[in-house]
């Protein structure tokens, strides 16, 4: 028993000595990063950042529509308020004519409220209420209700604007955070390894793409941007995100597209993969968060990600969802 205890202590001492002189193998955390593992993690982060960025683009489109609606509602409310004031004065004048002398003065004391609903309540307390001109009173009541509806709608739309602005800030923060994580991972690699990783998936730029007319103009613009930087939310002239590139490319052909990959998916008739033509927009992931432009021979031109920029890739380099033909 004593000999066994000595052997156990000796073994522990040997392990401690090996650790003190560096004989214990290095931990995985100290090992060189595996480039394939880094690529998978960077691709995931780039994709998550792009998803957030495209949601940001969607929120910007929604915010623009909400603000336009809010402006229209406020203008309508102002017109309604002015219209109501005219009828209010007509009702007040009609009431005053029903009184004379001290009664006029007493009735006049009722007309101090600027609030339409309060004024209507004051009217109901007057003994000659039923003697008023029916059309004026009915009109005033209807206009008060209409104004209340417009005010409620305006307040609701203002709340939507505030919520959308909060969503914009959140998506921007998410995209920036994912991009920073990806950059930190890339910084762990040596320069040559970074170049190798970021060049993966790129294809040789074709010298000529057979297309003419509107599609030819869109393709010509997109191909001229190959090598430009990818920046979230950008739409040129020297940097783009995926939907920013396709939007600007088709703008050269006189076709207006929204700055959103999901919205662009509804911008024209859908086409089957077997019927793809150069210039068609091709979409990826579910939910849709990336768009490129088909250029023929199984290739697309697209703003890929912040590491690769605008480049040519294979059609199925990402999970393919479908295609649309703009114009």
Angle at 164 between CA 163 and CA 167, to 5 degrees: 90
Q: The CATH number of the domain where 221 resides is what?
A: 3.90.1720.10
Single residue among 200, 228, 255 that ends a domain in this structure: 200
In a shared domain, residues 134 and 214: no
C-alpha–C-alpha distance, residues 271 and 304, integer Å:
22
**Domain for residue 13, yes or no?**
no
In a shared domain, residues 164 and 310: no
In a shared domain, residues 80 and 215: no
Find the helix or strand (DSSP H, E) in which 151 lies: helix 134-187
**Domain for residue 315, yes or no?**
yes
Q: Which of 36-40, 153-157, 302-306 has the lowest mean pLDDT?
A: 36-40
Give per-residue pLDDT as tens, 188-243. 776 666 666 666 666 677 777 878 799 999 999 999 999 999 998 899 999 999 99
In a shared domain, residues 220 and 138: no
In a shared domain, residues 212 and 312: yes
CA 207 to chain centre: 35
Catalytic residue among 47, 259, 270, 290: 290
pLDDT confidence of residue 90? 67
In a shared domain, residues 133 and 225: no
C-alpha–C-alpha distance, residues 132 and 90, integer Å:
11
In a shared domain, residues 207 and 196: no
Give per-residue pLDDT as tens, 51-89. 888 888 888 888 888 888 778 877 877 877 777 777 677
What residues make up the domain containing 145?
A: 34-200
pLDDT confidence of residue 59? 82
Average pLDDT over residues 280-287: 96
pLDDT confidence of residue 117? 65
Catalytic residue among 242, 259, 270, 316: 242
Q: How many CA atoms lie within 13 A of 273 on its CB side?
A: 11
> pLDDT band at 3, cuts 50/70/90?
very low
**Is the pLDDT score of 159 beyond 60?**
yes
- DSSP structural state of residue 283: E
User: What's the burial of 221, exposed, middle or buried (CB within 10 Å: 0-12/13-18/19+)?
Assistant: buried
Single residue among 155, 173, 200 that ends a domain in this structure: 200
> pLDDT band at 95, cuts 50/70/90?
low
Tokens for 66, please give them: 């909400």
Q: Are 325 and 316 in contact (CB under 8 A)?
A: no
In a shared domain, residues 196 and 211: no
In a shared domain, residues 160 and 261: no
pLDDT confidence of residue 279? 96
**Domain for residue 150, yes or no?**
yes
CB neighbour list of residue 66: distance below 8 Å, 6 or more residues apart: 157, 160, 161, 164
**Is the pLDDT score of 115 beyond 90?**
no
C-alpha–C-alpha distance, residues 314 and 259, integer Å:
23
- Catalytic annotation present for 316: no
Tokens for 103, please give them: 């009664």
In a shared domain, residues 219 and 106: no
In a shared domain, residues 66 and 167: yes
Number of domains the chain contains: 2
> pLDDT band at 32, cuts 50/70/90?
low
């Amino acid at each position: 028993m004593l000999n066994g205890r000595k052997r156990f202590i000796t073994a522990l001492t040997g392990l401690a000595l090996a650790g003190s002189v560096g004989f214990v193998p290095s931990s995985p955390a100290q090992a060189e990063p595996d480039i394939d593992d880094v690529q998978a993690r960077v691709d995931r982060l780039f994709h998550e950042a792009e998803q957030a960025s495209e949601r940001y683009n969607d929120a910007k489109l929604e915010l623009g529509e909400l603000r336009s609606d809010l402006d229209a509602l406020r203008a309508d409310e102002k017109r309604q308020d002015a219209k109501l004031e005219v009828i209010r004065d007509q009702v007040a004048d009609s009431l005053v004519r029903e009184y004379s002398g001290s009664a006029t003065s007493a009735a006049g004391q009722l007309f101090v409220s600027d609030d339409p609903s309060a004024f209507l309540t004051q009217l109901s307390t007057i003994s000659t209420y039923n003697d008023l001109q029916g059309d004026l009173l009915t009109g005033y009541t209807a206009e008060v209700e209409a104004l209340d509806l417009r005010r409620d709608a305006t307040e609701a739309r203002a709340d939507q604007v505030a919520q959308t602005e909060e969503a914009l800030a959140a998506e921007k923060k998410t995209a920036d955070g994912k991009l920073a994580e990806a950059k930190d991972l890339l910084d762990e690699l040596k320069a040559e390894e970074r170049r190798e990783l970021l060049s993966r998936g790129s294809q040789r730029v074709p010298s000529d793409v057979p297309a003419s007319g509107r599609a030819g103009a869109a393709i010509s613009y997109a191909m001229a941007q190959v090598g430009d930087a990818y920046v979230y939310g950008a739409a040129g002239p020297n940097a783009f995100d995926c939907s920013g590139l396709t939007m600007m490319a088709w703008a050269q052909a006189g076709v207006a597209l929204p700055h959103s990959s999901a919205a662009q998916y509804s911008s024209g008739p859908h086409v089957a993969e077997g019927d793809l033509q150069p210039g068609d927009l091709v979409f990826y992931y579910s939910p849709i968060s990336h768009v490129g432009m088909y250029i023929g021979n199984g290739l697309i031109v697209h703003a890929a990600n912040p590491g690769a920029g605008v480049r040519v890739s294979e059609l199925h380099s990402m999970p393919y969802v479908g295609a649309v033909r703009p114009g």
